[in-house]
Amino acid sequence: MGIFQQGVYRKWFLAGLAAVVLAAWFSVGSNHPDEHFQVLEFANYKLFHTPPQDLPWEFQNQCRSALQPLLAYCIWQPLVWAHCFSPVTAIFLLRLCIGIAMWFTACHVVLRLLPAFETQRGKTVFVMAAMLLWYVPYMSVRFSSENLAALLFLCVFLLLPDTGGGQNQKILRYLGAGVLCGLMLFIRLQMVFALGGAAIWLIAVARAKWADFMAIVTGTLLGIGLAVLADYWFYGMWVISPYNYYHVNMVRNMAAKWGTDPWWNYFNLFFQSAVPPISLVLMVLFCIGVRQRWKHVFGFAVTAFLLGHFLIAHKEMRFLFPMALPFLFFAATGAEWVYTRYAQHARPLTWTWKTLVVVNAVVLVYRVFAPAQEVISYYNFVCRYAGGEKVTVVYFSHCPYLLNDVRVHFYQPSNVEVRHIHNHAELAALVDSPTAGKVLYISPGIKLGHKPAGFHLEKLYCLFPDLVLKFNVGNWQERSHIYTVYRVGQMQ
């Protein structure tokens, strides 16, 4: 069944695609620094020779797979050959590619799962949530290890053979699923929990044959071999990055450096980050859905995945992203059960549903159009403003090209130089220098900090228009990174 063959769902699939494309364009930046430093800067290291000393500690410990940097490298290389590479275009292509791939795969997974629902209401709720729940487009365009692991996991699910088809076809599908499993373990080692749960399902529920398991194991070894070759390409030596990751974070307990939490803290994290009251309703419906369909392959995979992450001391909400679509499958299952069981209470259920839809719509619009990181909008402006001309960005105390105290190189093209200015005499000499090109100053806050007194300042860019900045209800401006880009002219 094609994505657009059933008219009843076509509009939701198209709406989901539109939301993903818009998010790819507007949601600049990363959800977490790892998404930037362990992918973009790693790929930039191979393309434009980012200094190794400016890469994060994971590079020195060789504990991050090169699969994602290699994928970015392959997408970007044609731009380099065509002499039209720019950070703005390059990262947009990554967001667009991963977003469309996630949308396309999610549509097929949804269609595969729809027969499990008994009512049209349940099917519609599932399609709507899978396409337009507020965090779906935002997460879909993140070129992160969690998102790529989610994509591969869903592809493995689609490769699980149907009841039809000959044994040879099944073996080939199991072999392909194994290759994806091997790649998945290098991209995100924690996916071993979900894969372990799926393996138990294959044994206990699906009654898979030994030949099927041998095909999966063979494919997994092939996938691991490909991932090892990618690591060799990147690090210049033979390494097993998942083992290094385990040794550094678990044996040497490096992960605990970023904080530890009790097992139940994931409930607090989800309740806060998934926006109440939506988050509370989703948690309740998810628990109901798992109880109703615990024999489903997703039931085994999600349960094992959550139990494994409960045991890991360091906890972040992003670690659970790979199970986002299975989570929504169970939540929609729970919603269908509630509607069926309490049909006599249609009015309060309808009002609850309408309230959640309104809240979701508001947050969805914000999350699609707002940047994931505000400072990236300023980097993008400098790139566009510079074009092919020489630009020098000056700073007095805090370097604007620092994120989490790590130097950013990806968003700094070769014709943009960043200079630390110690006094106004150095700035005057730079402005008068014919080799400096256009001199820009990025103010670190809403108020002009370290104002270059006596120089002509031309305001070029601010993320927020002046009309919005007139209102500071609740001191929101002080909590936001509202930088301003000025062009520095000669002294008046």
Enter the pTM of the model: 0.92
pLDDT at 164: 47
**What is the edge-to-edge ordering of all strands in the sheet holding 438-443?**
416-420, 391-395, 438-443, 484-491, 455-462
Q: Where are the alpha helices (DSSP H) in 82-209?
A: 87-113, 120-132, 135-140, 145-159, 167-187, 192-204
Distance separating alpha carbons of residues 21 and 283, to the nearest angstrom: 28
Residues 6+ apart with CB under 8 A from 258: 314
Q: Pull the structure tokens for residue 60.
A: 């020195």
Question: In Å, what is the CA distance from 159 to each residue of 23, 208, 251, 276?
Answer: 28, 14, 35, 36
Please report the pLDDT score of residue 134 as a whole number.
97
Which helix (H) or strand (E) element contains residue 41?
A: helix 41-48
Facing residues of 416 across strands? 391
Q: Do residues 189 and 242 touch, judged by C-beta distance below 8 A?
A: yes
Output the pLDDT for position 3. 64
Alpha-carbon gap, residue 116 to 400, rounded angstroms: 52
Joined together, the tokens standing for residue 388 give 């092919």
Q: What pLDDT score does 449 carry?
A: 57
Which residue stretches of the chain have pLDDT < 70? 1-6, 162-168, 446-451, 453, 491-492
Query: Is residue 161 a contact partner of residue 170, using CB atoms and an 8 Å limit?
Result: yes
Name the burial class of residue 368, with classes exposed (0-12), middle (13-18) and buried (19+) by CB atoms within 10 angstroms of its CB: buried
- Chain-centroid distance, C-alpha 84: 25
Name, in order, each residue with C-beta under 8 angstroms of 346's C-beta and a sequence gap of 6 or more. Answer: none
CA distances from 243 to 235, 239, 246 (A): 15, 9, 5
pLDDT digits (tens, 9 = 90+) for 405-451: 889 999 998 899 999 988 888 888 898 888 889 999 988 776 665 66
pLDDT at 163: 43
User: Can you say how many angstroms the Cα of residue 310 is from the centroid of all Cα atoms in its chain?
Assistant: 21
The confidence score (pLDDT) of residue 257 equals 78
Pairing relationship of beta strands 438-443 and 391-395 according to DSSP bridges: parallel
Pairing of strands 402-403, 406-407: antiparallel
Give the helix/strand (H/E) hosting 457: strand 455-462
Q: Which helix (H) or strand (E) holds 382?
A: helix 374-386
